[in-house]
Amino acid sequence: MTNESLSELSIKIESNKAVVGIIGLGYVGLPLLQAFYLSGFSVIGFDTDQLKIELLSNGQSYLSHLDQALINQMFQTGRCQVTGDLRRFSECDALISCVPTPLGENLQPDLSFVEKTAEDIARNLRRNQLVVLESSTYPGTTREILLPVLSAGGLRCGEDFFLAYSPEREDPGRKNFTTQTIPKLVGGIDDASCKLACSLYSKAIRTIVPVSSAEVAEAAKMLENIYRSVNIALVNEMKIVLSKMGIDIWEVIEAAASKPFGFEAFYPGPGLGGHCLPIDPYYMAWRARKLGVETKFIELSGEVNRAMPAYVVSNTTLALNKFAKAVNGSKILILGVAYKPNVEDVRESPGFTLIEMFRELGAQVDYNDPYVPQTRKTRRHNLLMKSIPLSAQMLASYDCVVVATDHSSYDWQLISNNAKLIIDTRNALKHAKNRRAHIIKS
């Protein structure tokens, strides 16, 4: 059966006759759906969010960095469908799972979405299907969580169906790399699964990097993001130390980056956001503890980065004191609640944490974000707010403006000219002219 199943599915993939299903149509899944569509496959997108299904069915994108015209075109050709009906998993020759992997309340992995999706796939699994997990997770997840669930019905991995892991590497808003041009790691549960997954991805993505196992691919994803988390924690800690010494961390980083080797610039901020960096270190640390191994370095980086919102609030309190103002009763405006510039992505945003912390201290808090007109309830926050319009008069009405996200559309000179006090966590006002004493870097 091995050669027959492998050959049949391989022929479908090579001839672009395979139907590709993408499970989870967020910042990872929707661009991937688009990439496979552009490579000539028929695609089916699955999501439990009915609003996403309705928008896409009407040719509308909810991700601003994707080409709206292309999204509209995709849903007019008949080769692209979206649905919330998970029974249609059986129609797909390949199923790629891009569901969330958040943290639980005690910073432990929450694999409930991965587990539920695996159960849904298992109920509809048939012979000659390839299943790939893309969600960021600790090494061993694909083999220890997905494989037993998918095998429970009697189908054999590597013979009847195929299973692999290929970590997503999306960076929403990035211009110099896209889903199609970011190299794709692929690790299979077995050689046959790896071969099929590599064949599939090679149709849509320029560079494929096969590795020896799913565990290697899972670990590589962890290392990529822990590397960034550790280095960001380092500059965040350096920021605190150098601030006490009256030295500008951003100027120090620029100076160090002049060295053409041995240094890569990372930048401080008000905390980490997004779907990977604030989460992946804890996934790896949890896995290590299960093996009786301490990960002091990894866990420390998480602690440092999670402490940054409190550091910003403390600096804001001290700055307001200089103006004879208490935080309690002050009007504070947060600029930017997206976790990074020029996207609408608010996952794990430190901006939300800042709003909650200032409110707890008695401040009246508003926000402005051109990419986030209003906020919705998330797993960690329940801030039902609307973005206020930005104007000279509006800026002047606040006791303090806190720059949390440095969107390129902001007029920093307007902000500098009219705000009474600015807490700049991103060095966004480095080129502002005239008044400077009211700008506090934090």
Residue 121 pLDDT more than 90?
Answer: yes
Would you list the DSSP string of 107-166?
Answer: S-B--HHHHHHHHHHHHH--TTEEEEE-S---TTHIIIIIHHHHHTTS--BTTTEEEEE-
**Does residue 336 share a domain with residue 209?**
no
**Does residue 121 share a domain with residue 268?**
no
* Each residue's pLDDT tens digit, 242-290: 999 999 999 999 999 999 999 999 999 999 988 888 899 999 999 999 9
CA-CA distance, 41 to 35, in Å (whole number)? 9
Q: Are 214 and 187 in contact (CB under 8 A)?
A: yes
pLDDT at 1: 39
- The larger pLDDT score, comparing residue 435 to residue 185, is at 185
Q: How confident is the model at residue 34 (pLDDT cuts 50, 70, 90)?
A: very high
Residue 436 pLDDT more than 60?
Answer: yes
Query: What is the CB neighbour count within 10 angstroms for residue 260?
Result: 6
User: Is residue 222 assigned to a domain?
Assistant: no
Three-state SS for 89-121 is HHHCCEEEECCCCCECCCCCECCHHHHHHHHHH
Instruction: Write out the catalytic residue numbers.
Output: 276
pLDDT at 3: 63
Residue 132 pLDDT more than 70?
Answer: yes
User: Of 199, 214, 229, which residue constitutes the final position of a domain?
Assistant: 214
User: Is residue 219 assigned to a domain?
Assistant: no
Mean pLDDT of the chain: 94
Closest CA to 302 of 388, 408, 229: 229
Query: What is the CB neighbour count within 10 angstroms for residue 18?
Result: 26
pLDDT over 90 percentage in the chain: 84
pLDDT at 117: 98
User: Of 214, 236, 256, which residue constitutes the final position of a domain?
Assistant: 214
pLDDT at 69: 85
SS3 category, 340: coil
Residue 434 pLDDT more than 80?
Answer: no
- CA separation (Å) from 415 to 307, 323, 361, 372? 27, 19, 25, 19
The whole-number average pLDDT for the span 52-61 is 90
- The larger pLDDT score, comparing residue 169 to residue 378, is at 169
User: β-pairing, 422-424 with 439-441?
Assistant: parallel
pTM: 0.92
pLDDT at 433: 87
**Does residue 179 share a domain with residue 59?**
yes
**Does residue 250 share a domain with residue 209?**
no
Residue 5 pLDDT more than 80?
Answer: no
CA-CA distance, 403 to 432, in Å (whole number)? 14
**Does residue 263 share a domain with residue 342?**
yes
* Each residue's pLDDT tens digit, 295-330: 998 999 999 999 999 999 999 999 999 988 999 999
**Does residue 320 share a domain with residue 190?**
no
**Does residue 175 share a domain with residue 251?**
no
**Does residue 406 share a domain with residue 271?**
yes
How many domains does the chain contain in total?
2
User: Is residue 227 assigned to a domain?
Assistant: no
Residue 207 pLDDT more than 50?
Answer: yes
User: Is residue 100 assigned to a domain?
Assistant: yes
User: Is residue 29 assigned to a domain?
Assistant: yes
Domain that includes residue 343, residue range: 246-275+307-441
Indicate which CATH number applies to the domain containing 40.
3.40.50.720
Element (H, E) at 330: none
CA-CA distance, 274 to 171, in Å (whole number)? 9
User: Is residue 317 assigned to a domain?
Assistant: yes
User: Is residue 70 assigned to a domain?
Assistant: yes
* Each residue's pLDDT tens digit, 93-116: 999 999 999 998 888 999 999 999
**Does residue 153 share a domain with residue 257?**
no
Within its chain, how far is the Cα of 191 from the centroid? Answer: 30
CA-CA distance, 115 to 430, in Å (whole number)? 47
